[in-house]
């Protein structure tokens, strides 16, 4: 049985026997995280609740393979009395990430609690470099070697190619809602993954979506959901619909961009793509 442990430092995957007890699972978490059992607060399920009850029960009676657990590391400053009972009220929210040409990578790092922007860029670069037949010039729009270098540049935006690669890397579907059209693009859909994450796209910027618990800090956000969790899908879509009603998107056909490299004013995504082909400039901002 494979379980994901969410800690402030990232996501850890552990493997335990489904026949082991909850007590044995807690001891294994202690070995993996270095957090003493007495200082652990393990939350699971929805609404989230503590795992400590019935510690002699077999794990398989409480959890399923692929489930995610939140490890409250009391030793990093979370006051024990602050969450004496697990938060139960929640809502889906849009978590803002920096608008610095790396928003896609910030969003992915947030939902998976794993990997810096630079590390995610390197994962993509290496995946492309090591698979030249799959990631050919015809597919990438530039040579394999050129793309492998280009995606490492901090001013390079991420998009569909990068999302498909990261979906395979994390073995999780990445579902992206386009605010303007309310279309949902599912990266990794054909791979039949058991879990998914949600992103919001406004035409030029990506933000992560999360289930946030009332009174809890962001480290308690739930960002990975079972693929069959229809409630999570409906809630995520409702955030996109609200953003659409408030016209929180950029119309790619009519918006104006400015090239930060040379100052050129460009009309729409088409103009930006053409300018990049002609000059090699890829650092754009909305004018």
Write down the catalytic residue from 103, 202, 207, 235. Answer: 103
Question: Do residues 16 and 4 lie in contact, with contact meaning Cβ atoms separated by under 8 Å?
Answer: no
**Three-state SS across 179-218?**
CCCCCEEEECHHHCCCEEEEEEECCCCEEEEEEEECCCCH
103 is catalytic: yes
| Alpha-carbon torsion, ordered 269, 273, 274, 279, to 10 deg | 130
44 is catalytic: no
- Rounded Cα distance, 198 and 227, in Å: 11
Question: Do residues 252 and 269 lie in contact, with contact meaning Cβ atoms separated by under 8 Å?
Answer: yes
- CB neighbourhood size of 88 (10 A): 11
Write down the catalytic residue from 72, 106, 202, 205. Answer: 205
Find the helix packing angle between 117-129 and 160-170, rounded to 10°: 90
Write down the catalytic residue from 100, 191, 251, 262. Answer: 100
275 is catalytic: no
Question: Do residues 222 and 46 lie in contact, with contact meaning Cβ atoms separated by under 8 Å?
Answer: yes
| Alpha-carbon torsion, ordered 95, 98, 103, 108, to 10 deg | -50
- CB neighbourhood size of 86 (10 A): 18
Query: What Cα–Cα distance (Å) separates residue 206 from each residue in 96, 177, 252?
Result: 9, 10, 14
- Rounded Cα distance, 197 and 199, in Å: 7
What are the catalytic residues? 100, 103, 205, 281
């Amino acid at each position: 049985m494979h379980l994901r442990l969410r800690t402030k430092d990232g996501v850890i995957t552990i493997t335990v026997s489904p026949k082991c007890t909850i007590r044995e699972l807690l001891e294994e978490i202690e070995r993996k995280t270095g957090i003493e059992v007495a200082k652990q607060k393990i939350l699971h399920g929805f609404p989230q609740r503590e795992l400590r009850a019935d510690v002699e029960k077999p794990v398989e009676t409480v959890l399923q393979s692929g489930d995610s657990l939140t490890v409250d590391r009391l030793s990093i400053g979370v006051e024990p009395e602050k969450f004496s009972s697990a938060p139960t009220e929640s809502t889906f929210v849009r978590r803002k990430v920096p608008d610095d040409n790396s928003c896609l990578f910030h969003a992915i790092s947030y939902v998976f609690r794993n990997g810096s922007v630079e590390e995610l860029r390197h994962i993509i670069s290496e995946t492309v470099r090591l698979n030249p037949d799959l990631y050919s010039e015809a597919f990438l729009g530039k040579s394999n070697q050129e793309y492998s270098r280009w995606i490492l540049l901090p001013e390079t935006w991420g998009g569909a190619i990068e999302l498909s690669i990261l979906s395979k890397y994390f073995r999780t579907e990445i579902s992206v809602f386009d605010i303007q059209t309310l279309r949902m693009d599912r990266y990794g859909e054909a791979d039949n993954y058991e879990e998914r994450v949600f992103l919001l796209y406004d035409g030029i910027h990506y933000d992560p979506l999360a289930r946030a618990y009332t009174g809890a800090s962001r480290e308690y956000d739930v960002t990975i959901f079972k693929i069959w969790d229809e409630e999570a899908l409906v809630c995520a879509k409702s955030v996109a619909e609200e953003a659409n009603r408030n016209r929180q998107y950029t119309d790619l056909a009519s918006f104006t961009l400015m090239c930060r490299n040379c100052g050129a004013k460009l009309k729409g995504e088409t103009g930006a793509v053409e300018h990049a082909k002609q000059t090699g400039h890829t650092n754009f901002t909305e004018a």
